[in-house]
DNA sequence: ACTATATTTCGGTCAATAACGAAATGAAAT
DNA sequence: ATTTCATTTCGTTATTGACCGAAATATAGT
């Protein structure tokens, strides 16, 4: 018996919304997200695990990195509904606007490891 | 400049979801909702003010009572999207099922004032 | 004006959660 | 095998949010 989770809870945190919008641009590893959000890596990891647990995103290990990406085939229809119209549900504000710019310019080989 | 509020935050609380589903049956006053949720009136009032502030519901004073009802013409399209398909977004569980039964049987003149 | 009932506002407590840094784990390169 | 870097897990702290009861406000009836 699977208990019905409240998908809105996963979306109630502003930083998790920012992450979703960033992943809309392209898959990212934890250290790239950490760099952009200016949070501790452990905090970002937690947010990602919430989004993954709910089915919004998938992880894909690539060597020492873990890429996170939007889940294209979520089990839950409500999650599909949100993800397929992310711009409708989560409008851009200044913060998200600049996040997206940073994602476009982000290069893992420069951001990480230095 | 109106700051963009996170509509998901208003929906992240289980009791607020219950209230929305109850109001789907019929408009209710605070004391009826209080009776069904078994919370303090002040707590229910807080929940209602959040839902009202976000545009999910409207209030309509009727003498000493204040009726709350689903907003049929929300300004925010996302809120329309949620409200027009409330059953899709907020599935029934046992709790909500019995809430709705209680709403159908609820009679303000018996519940309040005694 | 006074009383009764409904509701909201206020001040405070407690629980949930977002945040951090440190330690543990995973994977690759030396 | 050891080092290095990315990530996760753990333990703790700070913040936020749900909740309550008491006091304040609103409305209607006496």
pLDDT recorded at residue B86: 97
pLDDT of residue A114: 64
Give which of A99, A7, A57 is closest to B11, Cα–Cα.
Answer: A7
Residue B85's Cβ-side half-sphere holds a number of Cα atoms within 13 Å equal to 9
What's the pLDDT at B114? Answer: 64
B11 interfaces chain A, CB cutoff of 8 Å: yes
Residue entry with tokens 């899709």: B88
User: Does residue B1 carry a pLDDT above 50?
Assistant: no
Most A CBs within 10 A among B3, B4, B8, hence the mutation to make, goes to B8
Bridge partner list, A57: A70
Q: Is A45 exposed, middle or buried (0-12, 13-18, 19+ CB in 10 A)?
A: middle
Q: What is the pLDDT of residue A113?
A: 73
Order of all β-strands in the sheet with B65-70: B28-29, B65-70, B57-62
> Protein A31 CA to nucleic acid D4 C1', in Å?
15
Chain D positions with an atom below 7 A of a protein C-beta are 4-11, 17-23, 26-29
Which pTM was predicted? 0.94
Cβ separation B77–A91 shorter than 8 A = no
Average of per-residue pLDDT across B74-89: 97
CB pair distance less than 8 Å for B12 and A14? no
Direct distance between the N- and C-terminal alpha carbons of chain B, in angstroms, rounded to an integer: 47
DSSP string, A10-67: HTSSHHHHHHHHHHHH--EEHHHHHHHHT--HHHHHHHHHHHHHHTSEEEEEETTEEE
Distance CA A4, CA A91 (A): 27
The pLDDT of residue B101 is above 80: yes
Are B27 and B104 a contacting pair, CB within 8 Å? no
pLDDT reading at A106 higher than 60 = yes
Range with the poorest average pLDDT among A76-85, A101-110, B70-79: A101-110
Q: Per-residue pLDDT for A29 more than 60? A: yes
User: Which token pair is A58?
Assistant: 């998938």
pLDDT band at A5 (very low <50, low <70, confident <90, very high): confident
pLDDT digits (tens, 9 = 90+) for B11-70: 999 999 999 999 999 999 999 999 999 999 999 999 999 999 999 999 999 999 999 999
DSSP B6: -
Window 27-86 of chain B: CB closer than 7 A to strand D: 38-40, 42-43, 46-47, 50, 61, 63-64
Q: Are B80 and B59 in contact (CB under 8 A)?
A: no
């Amino acid at each position: 018996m699977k208990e019905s989770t409240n998908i809105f809870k996963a979306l109630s945190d502003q930083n998790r919304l920012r992450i979703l919008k960033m992943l809309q641009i392209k898959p990212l590893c934890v250290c790239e997200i950490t760099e952009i959000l200016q949070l501790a890596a452990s905090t970002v990891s937690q947010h990602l695990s919430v989004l993954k647990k709910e089915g919004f995103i998938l992880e894909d290990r690539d060597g020492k990195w873990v890429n996170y990406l939007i889940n294209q085939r979520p089990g839950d229809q409500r999650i599909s509904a949100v993800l397929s119209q992310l711009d409708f549900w989560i409008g851009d504000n200044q913060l998200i606007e600049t996040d997206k710019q940073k994602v476009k310019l982000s290069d893992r080989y420069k951001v990480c490891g230095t």
